[in-house]
Structures are given as C-alpha cells and as structure tokens.
Amino acid sequence: QALKKTVFPRLTERGISLEALSLTEEEIKNFNRIHIVACGSAWHAGIVGRYVMEEINRIPVEVDIASEFRYRNPILSKNDLCIIISQSGETADTLAALREAKKQGVKVLSIVNVVGSSIARESDDVLYTWAGPEIAVATTKGYTTQLSMLYLVALYFAKVRGSVDEMRFQEYLRELRLLPQKTEDILKLDGKMAELAKRYAHCEDVFIIGRGLDYAAAMEASLKLKEISYIHSEAYAAGELKHGTISLIEEGTLVIAIATQERLFEKLVSNVKEVKARGANVIAITTKGGKDMEAVADEVIYLPKVADIFTSSFNVLPMQLFAYYTAVERGCDVDKPRNLAKSVTV
Ligand code: F1P
C-alpha cells in the first residue's frame, strides 16, 4: 500500500526508464513550466534541479521555498508540473504547498525519503531516495540522493521531449554511471578537510561564493555550517560581491570559492583576486586543471572532472566534511544540532 505510487527508475543499456510513472509522454511533451517547491536543503536541491532542467529540458522552472509558495497565492496552470522535494515527507509547509498545487489541478511528482509519508501518499508519483532510515538531522546524503533523482527525471524528460541530441544524452548517461566511483574518491579528502577545519574553526564569519550550480552548492554549504557548527556563514553569487558585500571582506576573513563550472571558471578566479586584494584567506574548491586558481587562492581542493550539470553531486561534499569537522573542533554535537528537528511538522 505504502509503495502504491512509487516510480522505479532504472538505468538501462542506452537509456532511462521510470517504471510506473503515471505521467504520460504526451503530458511530459506539453509541460510549459515546472514548479519545484521544498524547504531547507531540499530547496537547495531544487535550485540545482532548476539549472539542470532548464539546461537540458528547455522548460522554464520556478523554485520556491514552500512557506513562501503556500501563502503567496501562486499562479499555476494545467500544463504545469509541480515537483515537491522532502526528505521526511512530513514538512508542514511543503505538504501545504503540495495540497495547493493539487487544488489547482496540477500533477505532483515528489522526491521523498520516508516511505509512505504524507507527501508520498498525496502525490501522483513518488521517487524515493532510499537514503536509509539513519539519515542525519542536518541532511547530507538526503541532499545528494535528491540530486540523483532530479538528474534522472531531467534526463528522462529530455529523452521524451527530444531536447538533447542522442550523442550528448549517451555522454550524460556514461557520466551518471561514474558518479558513485568518483564520489568515493572525493571522500578521500576527509583528512584534508579535517586539517582545514582545525585551522579555521575559530572564524566567526565565513563567505562562500560561486556561480551557477556552484552558487547552489554555496547555499547548501552555508546552511550546513550554520546548522551544525553555528558559524555565521553567507552564500553569495560571486558576481554579486561587488554590489555591496565586498565591504565586509577584511584581513583574515575566510572566503570559500567554489569553481567547478568550466565556462565560469575564469570569472571565479577574478572574484578570488578581488577578495584576496582585501586580505581574505581563500579556500578554493575546483575541478582538475585549475592552475590559475593555485596562483591566487591559499588552498586549492581538487575534485574530479564531470559534466557541468552533475557537478552538484561533488562540489558540496568537501563542504559537508568541512562543516562536520568544524563542528567537532568547536565541540558541537553534530548528531543533535541545536534547534533543528529531523522533520518540521508545524
Ligand atoms: C527540510 C529541512 C531539512 C533540514 C532539517 C529541517 O526537511 O529543512 O533540509 O536538514 O532537517 O528540515 P524535509 O522537508 O526535506 O524533510
């Protein structure tokens, strides 16, 4: 009964199937707009979803915080799809947003971890993340598994809508298959992130900058630092720095620059130069081959190369480790973060 609306995604030899999906190919071809609605880390996963879906599906995507969406009288129409993301499947604002979408006659596909939860039961289709019941209060693998589901949906829609050519589609599939192995490699950064956390655990303010998908990662990284180490951290779209925030950068301020987007790399290098000129200490997280970054940043953390649309599975991982070790250094209980509930039902 609990699995009634479950969609089973499968990677086949040359494609993707979403078995038991109730959405028809006709509906998928006719979508005019997608609304992604969620809270906290799930909202950040939704922001990644927007970049990926707009890039490969060419459908306009709106991403809303559920507590804003539900109270702002959102305008939805028949050819829209609502994607609801929630680890617990019980978050009150997210559930209310789902009900609003249903009330307006919009189909709802949800990405949920807890089997049989309220959101799962009330959606038209459910993709479970199977991240396990032992999931932490401050979401980590809950977030990365939500990203994987979003990739599968985006790629499946791309196939149905014919929005990416076959060669590129096959390339994406190949890269998708390599994500687990490359993720294992990133976890080897554990010791390095522990060392950096030791060095910077005294900082009271941290700025995390990035562009595009790296900005989405910066937001999630900043939330992790706040949730478990109680450090004040801000995520900025790197291009926004010069519109005010740069005045907060002074001698010794910690800035973490995430630069995994090939076409935005040089721009990030310029942003790092700007903050370095004001005395910041910079940790850069980048993909292989970023020699220009070594010339300007104090520390460079290298990630394996991957297609730009999948970088979100990687760029947040060193930051999750950094947040964890910073919390440990500061004597915080990472398993019981203060004022944070595993499921926010009021
Ligand atoms: C949303 C969320 C989590 C966060 C914490 C509080 O929950 O903000 O992202 O880590 O657990 O709730 P959910 O709707 O994804 O269950």
Q: Would you state the structure tokens that stand for residue 48, as one six-digit string?
A: 């990644």
Strands of the sheet containing 205-210, edge to edge, are: 232-237, 205-210, 254-259, 281-287, 299-303
Instruction: Decide which of 2.40.70.10, 1.10.3720.10, 3.40.50.1950, 3.40.50.10490 is the CATH code for 8-164.
Output: 3.40.50.10490
| Tokens at 316, concatenated | 């947040």
Task: Give the residue from 202, 224, 206 showing the smallest Cα distance to 324.
Answer: 224
The residues, any chain, with a CB within 8 Å of residue 63's CB and separated by 6 or more, are 35, 36, 37, 43, 46, 47, 49, 50
Q: What is the pLDDT of residues 34-50, one digit of tens each?
A: 999 999 999 999 999 99
Among protein residues, the one with the nearest Cα to ligand 1's atom 8 is: 40
Q: Which of the four pLDDT bands, split at 50, 70 and 90, describes residue 177? A: very high
Q: Is 92's C-beta closer than 6 angstroms to any atom of ligand 1?
A: no
| Rg, Å, the chain Cα set | 20
Q: How far is the C-alpha of 214 from the C-alpha of 108, rounded, in Å?
A: 28
Question: What spacing in Å lies between the alpha carbon of 139 and ligand 1's midpoint?
Answer: 7
| Boundaries of every domain in the chain | 8-164, 185-329
Q: Does any ligand 1 atom lie closer than 6 A to the CB of residue 91?
A: yes
Burial of 28 (0-12, 13-18, 19+ CB in 10 A): buried
Which atom of ligand 1 is least distant from the CA of 137? 11
pLDDT at residue 39, rounded to an integer: 96
| pLDDT over 70 (residue 160) | yes
C-alpha 266 to ligand 1 mean position (Å): 34
* Residue 309 CA to its chain's centroid (Å): 11
Atom of ligand 1 nearest to the CA of 114: 16
Nearest atom in ligand 1 to the alpha carbon of residue 138 is 10
Domain 8-164 shares a fold with domain 185-329: yes
Q: Is 139 in the pocket of ligand 1 (CB under 6 A)?
A: yes
Catalytic residues: 342
* Rounded distance from Cα 315 to ligand 1 centre (Å): 20
Ligand 1 atom closest to the Cα of residue 343 is 16
- Beta carbons of 316 and 306 less than 8 angstroms apart: no
| Dist. CA 343 → ligand 1 center (Å) | 6
45 lines ligand 1 (CB under 6 A): no
- Candidate of 41, 220, 226, 228 to mutate for ligand 1, largest count of ligand atoms within 8 Å of Cβ: 41
Could you count the other beta carbons within 10 Å of the beta carbon of residue 342? 15
pTM: 0.95
With the most atoms of ligand 1 within 8 angstroms of its CB, the residue from 67, 91, 338 to mutate is 91
Rounded distance between C-alpha atoms, residue 328 and residue 214, angstroms: 25
- Tell which phi-psi region holds residue 289, choosing left (phi > 0), alpha (psi between -120 and 50) or beta: left
* CA pseudo-torsion sign 144, 147, 151, 157: positive
- pLDDT tens per residue, range 42-86: 999 999 999 999 999 999 999 999 999 989 889 999 899 999 999
- Answer yes or no: is the C-beta of 141 below 6 A from any ligand 1 atom: no
Ligand 1: nearest atom to the Cα of 41: 9
Q: Tell whether ligand 1 has an atom less than 6 A from the beta carbon of residue 86.
A: yes
Mean predicted confidence (pLDDT) in 123-127: 97
**Per-residue confidence (pLDDT) for residue 244, from 0 to 100:** 81
Edge-to-edge order in the sheet of strand 61-65: 61-65, 33-38, 80-86, 107-112, 125-128
Q: 238: which DSSP letter?
A: G
**What was the ipTM of the complex prediction?**
0.95
77: its two tokens: 């129409």
Q: What per-residue confidence (pLDDT) applies to 114?
A: 94
pLDDT of residue 245: 82
SS3 state at 286: strand
Q: What is the architecture, at CATH level 2, of domain 185-329?
A: 3-Layer(aba) Sandwich (3.40)
**Ligand 1 atom at minimum distance from 38 CA:** 14
Mean pLDDT of the chain: 93
**C-alpha span between 259 and 301 (Å, rounded):** 10
Q: Is the CB of 146 under 6 A from ligand 1?
A: no
Burial readout 99-138 (b: 16 or more C-beta within 10 A, e: otherwise): ebbeeeebbbbbbbbbeebbbbebbbbbbbbebeeebbeb
Whole-Å CA distances, 187 to 22, 91, 322: 37, 30, 11
d(CA 284, ligand 1 centre) in Å:
27
Q: What is the pLDDT of residue 233?
A: 94
Angle made by CA atoms 143, 99, 215, in degrees to the nearest 5 = 30
Least confident span in 29-33, 105-109, 249-253: 249-253
Beta strands in the chain (DSSP E): 8-11, 16-19, 33-38, 61-65, 80-86, 107-112, 125-128, 205-210, 232-237, 254-259, 281-287, 299-303
**Cβ atoms of 293 and 286 closer than 8 Å:** yes
Q: What is the pLDDT of residues 264-318, one digit of tens each?
A: 999 999 999 999 999 999 999 998 667 789 999 999 999 999 999 999 999 999 9
pLDDT at 292: 86
Q: For residue 50, which of 63, 33, 32 has the smallest C-alpha distance?
A: 63
For residue 87 and ligand 1, the question of a CB distance below 6 A is answered with: yes
